[in-house]
Amino acid sequence: MPKPAKLSNPPSHHAHKIRGLDLDKPRPTAAAWALITLYFLVPAMLIGALIDLLIQWASGDCFGVWCLVLH
């Protein structure tokens, strides 16, 4: 009669590895880039327009983008 197989040391938690796909790190999508751009670009454009409006109001000279449209 054959002898039963002798068990080696019980496996530690480091011995078990999950095999599968190596996924890339999460990264922003095109929609995320669009929202980030809108989040920063729209307020910057509004602040710039307000500064141009204040310069026009104080000096009487038009320096803004709308001067191209109005004149």
pLDDT at residue 9 is higher than 70: no
Angle, CA of 57, 61 and 68, to the nearest 5°: 105
Rounded (10°) CA dihedral 45, 51, 57, 59: -130
What does the domain layout of the chain look like in residue ranges?
30-70
Least confident of 15-19, 21-25, 53-57: 15-19
Average pLDDT over residues 2-26: 67
Give residue 11's Cα distance to chain centre.
41
Note the pLDDT of residue 54.
Answer: 87
Least confident of 13-17, 39-43, 64-68: 13-17
Note the pLDDT of residue 20.
Answer: 79
pTM of this structure: 0.50
